[in-house]
């Protein structure tokens, strides 16, 4: 590695799914490629290492996908979750390209399996990586290495030399030294800014101090900032992100998937004043999973508690930390630091409002409350069987959406509307182009793979001209 060539056709910044897809595509198109990854080899591919699946359109069932998922259906889903806040042209392009992606990714050595136990609702739409995201990354790195892509770990890019929308070179830190490398084209695939709490505060205010970051601590948006400062157009709202309610006991960074909780629909959720604040049974869980981060962020001190009773304990996937357990609601309140009388009142009011019905967590059942605000529209069952359980939850930020604007070639667009001469972007750093808000499982990887491959091909083509 010491005898690195000074200049490359394509420089890729980042080391996740988007970066590796770009590097492999560029190298396959004949370009010389250097990947600069800020993380150590172990932590390479910051958020990608935590993933489990990707969403691609396909016309027929496969060995690992239980049925067809057409482009049109994918588009309908995206339209619904984003509430229309997406660039239709770009999104449809991504969805169309996603079809070929399954085969392309598999060709790079990534293996798939049928959907994981506990996520069966995704068995038709999403392809699950055998062994998860780190296994997927291992395969991509192995393929990239075999093709002759150079990779440097612990190489954080700290400066970009850009002249009037034209990328010249990048400066990075390696072994405590500043180094410079030039390239004919740039692919920025360095993730979002979710682990930069100060930047999150610019959108969210001080409450961002109470957020937990589910993935890498390396996605601080430094490259995004440099690009914006150099005149690349910004897209998206700084508060928009994928945020779920995760166990409040999770570490500040990198707790990953295992701190997730899937039990909201089985109980009630109260804030620190012991009050409910949202319909826990509004819709099936996979459709509501990604709204609870924002909901909890809006509560005092950004904390909430999921309260349920013993019949529900085995109805959802286990998670890392055991639930807090008590034999009365008052005792539970005490353990959670809540006002026992207030919690008992909330649970009592809820129980009194529960209507008779036939519980079925596989459908929108008829178990609901009557005369309660907010209501619980489905799966409402009295919380009455000891022991009682609770999980404390906080907003867990998965990744941010605000990024650089790109066109269909994944080429960055400058603030004055001109396409950048030789700069491309893929992954979280440009997710806001398709995800104005909302989320559907597996789209993060689709954005990275599809635009990664496009940007790598574009960057290689650019370098040859």
Ligand X SMILES: Cc1cc2nc3c(=O)[nH]c(=O)nc-3n(C[C@H](O)[C@H](O)[C@H](O)COP(=O)(O)OP(=O)(O)OC[C@H]3O[C@@H](n4cnc5c(N)ncnc54)[C@H](O)[C@@H]3O)c2cc1C
Which residues are near other proteins by CB under 8 A?
42, 49-50, 52, 111, 113-114, 116-118, 128-135, 138, 142, 145, 251, 254, 256-260, 314, 317-320
Q: CA angle at residue 160 from 157 to 163, to 5 degrees?
A: 170
Smallest gap from Cβ 68 to ligand X, in A, equals 20
Smallest gap from Cβ 146 to other proteins, in A, equals 9
Tell me if 132 contacts ligand X by CB under 6 A. no
Q: Which does 132 bind (CB under 5 to 8 A by kind): other proteins, ligand X, none?
A: other proteins
Which of 45, 392 has the CB closer to ligand X?
Answer: 45
Smallest gap from Cβ 37 to ligand X, in A, equals 5
Stretch that binds ligand X, among 92-100, 144-152, 208-216, 357-365 (CB under 6 A): 208-216
Smallest gap from Cβ 435 to other proteins, in A, equals 23
Give Cα separations from 110 to 13, 21, 426 (angstroms): 22, 12, 19
Smallest gap from Cβ 319 to other proteins, in A, equals 5
Tell me if 236 contacts ligand X by CB under 6 A. no
CB 403 within 8 A of CB 241: no
Which of 5, 41 has the CB closer to other proteins?
Answer: 41
Task: Output DSSP code: residue 7.
Answer: E
Q: Per DSSP, what are the bridge partners of residue 270? A: 276, 305
Stretch that binds ligand X, among 204-212, 334-342, 380-388, 441-449 (CB under 6 A): 441-449
DSSP three-state, residue 181: strand
Q: Which does 189 bind (CB under 5 to 8 A by kind): ligand X, other proteins, none?
A: ligand X
CB 263 within 8 A of CB 315: yes
Which of 44, 92 has the CB closer to other proteins?
Answer: 44
Tell me if 399 contacts ligand X by CB under 6 A. yes
User: Judged by CB under 6 A, which of 13, 25, 140, 326 binds ligand X?
Assistant: 13
Which of 83, 146 has the CB closer to other proteins?
Answer: 146
In 72-206, DSSP assigns E strands to: 112-113, 126-129, 150-152, 156-163, 166-174, 177-188
Smallest gap from Cβ 265 to ligand X, in A, equals 20
Give Cα separations from 422 to 26, 133, 172, 225, 461 (angstroms): 13, 30, 19, 18, 10
Residue with tokens 């009388």, as numbered in its chain: 341
Q: 390: part of which helix (H) or strand (E)?
A: strand 388-400
Smallest gap from Cβ 410 to ligand X, in A, equals 12
User: Judged by CB under 6 A, which of 11, 12, 16, 434 binds ligand X?
Assistant: 16
Which of 52, 272 has the CB closer to other proteins?
Answer: 52
CB 46 within 8 A of CB 39: yes
CA gyration radius for the chain?
23
CB 189 within 8 A of CB 368: no
Tell me if 394 contacts ligand X by CB under 6 A. no
Among candidates 104, 66, 32, 9, which has minimal Cα distance to 448? Answer: 104
**Cα 267 versus chain centre, distance:** 26
Tell me if 36 contacts ligand X by CB under 6 A. yes
Torsion of CA 226, 229, 232, 238, to 10 degrees: 80
Residues of this chain that bind ligand X (CB under 6 A):
13-19, 36-39, 44-48, 50-54, 156-157, 189-191, 214-216, 218-219, 222-223, 256-257, 398-399, 427-428, 442-445, 448
């Amino acid at each position: 590695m010491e005898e690195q060539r000074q200049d490359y056709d394509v420089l890729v910044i980042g080391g996740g799914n988007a970066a590796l897809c770009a590097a492999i595509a560029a190298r396959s198109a004949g370009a010389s490629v250097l990947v600069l990854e800020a993380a150590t080899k172990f932590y390479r591919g910051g958020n990608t290492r935590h993933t489990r699946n990707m969403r691609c359109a396909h016309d027929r069932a496969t060995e690992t996908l239980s049925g067809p998922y057409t482009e049109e259906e994918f588009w309908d889903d995206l339209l619904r979750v984003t509430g229309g806040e997406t660039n239709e042209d770009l999104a449809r392009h991504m969805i169309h390209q996603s079809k070929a992606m399954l085969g392309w990714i598999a060709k790079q050595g990534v293996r798939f399996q049928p959907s994981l136990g506990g996520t069966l609702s995704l068995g038709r739409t999403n392809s699950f990586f055998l062994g998860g995201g780190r296994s997927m990354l291992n395969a991509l790195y192995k393929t990239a290495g075999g093709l002759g892509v150079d990779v440097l770990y612990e190489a954080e890019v700290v400066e970009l030399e850009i002249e009037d929308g034209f990328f010249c070179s990048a400066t990075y830190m390696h072994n405590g030294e500043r180094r410079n490398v030039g390239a004919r084209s740039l692919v920025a695939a360095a993730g979002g800014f979710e682990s930069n709490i100060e930047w999150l505060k610019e959108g969210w205010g001080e409450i961002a101090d109470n957020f937990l970051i589910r993935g890498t601590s390396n996605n601080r948006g430094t490259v995004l900032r440099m690009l914006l400062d150099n005149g690349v157009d910004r897209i998206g709202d700084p508060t928009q992100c994928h945020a779920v309610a995760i166990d409040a006991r999770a570490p500040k960074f990198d707790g990953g998937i295992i701190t997730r909780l899937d039990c909201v629909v089985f109980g009630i959720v109260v804030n620190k004043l012991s009050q409910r604040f949202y319909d826990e049974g509004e819709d099936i869980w996979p459709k509501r999973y990604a709204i609870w981060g924002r909901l909890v962020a809006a509560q005092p001190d950004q904390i909430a508690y999921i309260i349920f009773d013993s019949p529900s304990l085995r109805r959802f996937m286990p998670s890392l930390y055991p639930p807090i357990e008590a034999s009365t609601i008052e005792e539970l309140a005490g353990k959670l630091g809540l006002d026992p009388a207030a919690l008992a009142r909330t649970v009592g009011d809820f129980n009194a409002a529960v209507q008779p019905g036939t519980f079925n967590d596989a459908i929108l059942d008829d178990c609901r409350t009557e005369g309660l605000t907010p209501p619980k529209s489905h799966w409402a069952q009295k919380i009455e069987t000891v022991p009682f359980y609770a999980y404390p939850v906080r907003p867990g930020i998965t990744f941010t959406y605000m990024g650089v604007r790109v066109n269909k070639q994944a080429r960055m667009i400058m603030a004055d509307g001109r396409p950048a001469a030789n700069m491309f972007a893929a992954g979280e750093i440009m997710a806001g182009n398709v995800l104005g808000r909302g989320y559907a499982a597996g789209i993060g990887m689709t954005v990275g793979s599809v635009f990664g491959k496009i940007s790598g091909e574009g960057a290689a083509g650019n370098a040859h001209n």
